[in-house]
C-alpha cells in the first residue's frame, strides 16, 4: 500500500493576527490567610470600645413645687459622639393624696471587659455601685395644691450589679475588623426597702416593674442604635487594625477581606 502525503493548500481567510482582539490574562489579587487567637481579637475590641461611657441621671434641682426632673443622661461612643437621651420621672400613687416620685441619680459605667462567646465577642460595661442610685421624693395634696412632703421611712432604691452586655459578630470592615448584629442586654438587681413594701400594699411590685422595664428598654434601644452608626463601626475598625499589627506581621498593610471562626482562633483572609 502506497501512502500518499497529503499537503493542505494554504487557505487565504483575509485575516491577520492584528484582526484578533488581544485577551489580557485576569489580574488576580494576592491573598493570604492568617490565624489570630480569639483572645487577641477580643483584647483588641476591648481597647477599641474602652472609651464607651454611659451616664444615667434625671435628678436635679427642684422645678416648681413638685418636680426634680432634669435630663442629663448620655452615652459616649468610641468615635467621641455623645448621644443625650431623656429618662422620665417615675410617679407612683401611695394614697389618694400622696405620691412618690423616683429619679435616677448620677449612675455611671466604671469598667469594661471583652470576652469570647463562641464565634461572637461579648463586651460588658459595669456600673459603679455607690449609695442609692434611685432617689425618691414625696409629694402630697393639701388644700387642692400639691407640695413636697416628708415620709419618715427609707424609700430610695438601690440598683445593684448593674451591667450592660453587647454581643457582637466580628466582620471584615474597611480593611480591618469591626462588628455587626449587635445585641444589647441591660441587667440590674433592684432593691427596695422592705418597710415601704410592707406599709403600702402592691407599691413595690409596681415600682420594680415600671422602673426596671422602662429603664431597660430605654438603655438597650439607645445603645443598640448608636452602635449601628457607621462612624462608630469605622472607629472600632481603625483601632482594632492597630492592635493586630504585631499579629499580622508583614501583612499589616494588607486589607482584611473576611473573618471566620475556627476553634479558638479567627481565620483572617487578607488581600494586597
Q: Please tell me the predicted confidence (pLDDT) of residue 270.
A: 98
Q: Give a yes or no: residue 256 inside a domain.
A: no
Angstrom distance (rounded) from CA 121 to CA 41: 9
* pLDDT tens digits in sequence order for the chain, 272 residues long: 444 443 444 444 444 444 333 344 445 679 999 999 999 999 999 999 999 999 999 999 999 999 999 999 999 999 999 999 999 999 998 889 999 999 999 999 999 999 999 999 999 999 998 778 999 999 999 998 999 998 777 788 999 999 999 999 999 999 999 999 999 999 999 888 777 887 777 888 888 889 999 999 999 999 999 999 999 999 999 999 999 999 999 999 999 999 999 999 999 999 99
- Three-state secondary structure call for residue 48: helix
Q: Please tell me the predicted confidence (pLDDT) of residue 208.
A: 87
DSSP 193-253: -HHHHHHSTTHHHHHHHHHHHHHHHHHHHHHHHHHT-HHHHHHHHHHHHHHTHHHHGGGTT
Q: Give a yes or no: residue 33 inside a domain.
A: no
Q: Give a yes or no: residue 41 inside a domain.
A: no
Cα separation of the two ends of the chain:
65
Angle between helices 230-243 and 38-49 (to 10 degrees): 130
Q: What residues contact 67, with CB distance under 8 A and at least 6 apart?
A: 89, 101
Task: Give the count of domains, the chain.
Answer: 1
Angle ∠(121,181,107) on CA atoms, nearest 5: 70
Q: Give a yes or no: residue 187 inside a domain.
A: yes
Q: Give a yes or no: residue 45 inside a domain.
A: no
Q: What is the dihedral of CA 88, 93, 94, 99, to 10 degrees?
A: 60
Q: Give a yes or no: residue 236 inside a domain.
A: no
Angstrom distance (rounded) from CA 219 to CA 40: 29
Range of the domain at 194: 53-229
Q: Give a yes or no: residue 42 inside a domain.
A: no
Q: Give a yes or no: residue 139 inside a domain.
A: yes
In which element (H, E) is residue 43 found?
Answer: helix 38-49
> CATH number for the domain including 213?
3.15.10
Residue 258: CB atoms within 10 A of its CB come to 13
Amino acid at each position: 500500500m502506497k501512502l500518499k502525503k497529503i499537503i493542505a493548500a494554504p487557505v487565504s481567510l483575509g485575516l491577520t493576527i492584528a484582526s484578533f482582539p488581544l485577551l489580557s490574562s485576569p489580574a488576580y489579587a494576592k491573598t493570604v490567610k492568617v490565624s489570630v487567637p480569639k483572645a487577641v481579637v477580643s483584647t483588641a475590641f476591648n481597647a477599641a470600645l474602652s472609651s464607651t461611657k454611659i451616664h444615667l441621671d434625671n435628678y436635679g434641682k427642684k422645678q416648681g413645687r413638685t418636680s426634680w426632673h432634669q435630663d442629663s443622661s448620655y452615652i459616649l461612643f468610641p468615635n467621641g459622639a455623645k448621644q443625650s437621651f431623656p429618662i422620665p420621672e417615675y410617679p407612683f400613687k401611695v394614697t389618694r393624696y400622696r405620691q412618690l416620685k423616683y429619679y435616677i441619680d448620677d449612675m455611671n459605667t466604671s469598667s469594661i471587659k471583652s470576652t469570647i462567646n463562641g464565634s461572637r465577642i461579648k463586651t460588658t460595661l459595669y456600673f459603679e455601685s455607690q449609695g442609692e442610685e434611685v432617689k425618691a421624693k414625696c409629694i402630697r395634696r393639701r388644700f387642692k395644691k400639691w407640695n413636697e412632703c416628708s415620709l419618715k421611712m427609707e424609700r430610695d432604691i438601690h440598683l445593684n450589679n448593674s451591667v450592660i452586655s453587647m454581643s457582637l459578630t466580628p466582620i471584615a470592615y474597611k480593611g480591618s475588623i469591626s462588628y455587626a448584629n449587635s445585641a444589647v442586654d441591660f441587667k440590674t438587681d433592684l432593691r427596695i426597702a422592705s418597710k415601704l413594701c410592707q406599709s403600702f400594699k402592691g407599691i413595690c411590685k409596681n415600682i420594680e416593674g415600671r422602673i426596671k422595664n422602662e429603664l431597660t428598654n430605654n438603655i438597650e434601644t439607645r445603645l443598640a442604635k448608636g452602635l449601628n452608626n457607621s462612624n462608630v463601626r469605622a472607629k472600632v475598625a481603625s483601632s482594632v487594625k492597630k492592635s493586630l499589627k504585631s499579629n499580622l506581621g508583614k501583612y499589616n498593610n494588607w486589607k482584611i477581606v473576611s473573618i471566620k471562626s475556627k476553634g479558638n482562633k479567627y481565620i483572617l483572609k487578607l488581600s494586597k
